[in-house]
Amino acid sequence: MMTLHTIRQALKDRRLDKVAAATGLHPNTIRDIRDNEDANPTWRVLSALSEYLEGGGAAAAERDSGAGQ
Domain boundary assignment for the chain: 4-65
Report residue 57: phi and psi, to 5°.
Answer: 60, -155
**pLDDT greater than 70 at residue 15:** yes
% the chain with pLDDT above 70:
80
**pLDDT greater than 70 at residue 9:** yes
Which amino acid would we find at residue 68? G
Listed in sequence order, the DSSP H helices in 12-42 are 16-23, 27-35
Question: What does the alpha-carbon distance between residue 3 and residue 33 come to, in Å, rounded to a whole number?
Answer: 12
Q: Which pTM does this prediction carry?
A: 0.79
pLDDT, tens digit, for every residue of 52-64?
999 864 455 555 6
pLDDT, tens digit, for every residue of 36-46?
999 999 999 99
pLDDT of residue 67: 54
Average pLDDT, the chain: 88
Q: Which CATH architecture has domain 4-65?
A: Orthogonal Bundle (1.10)
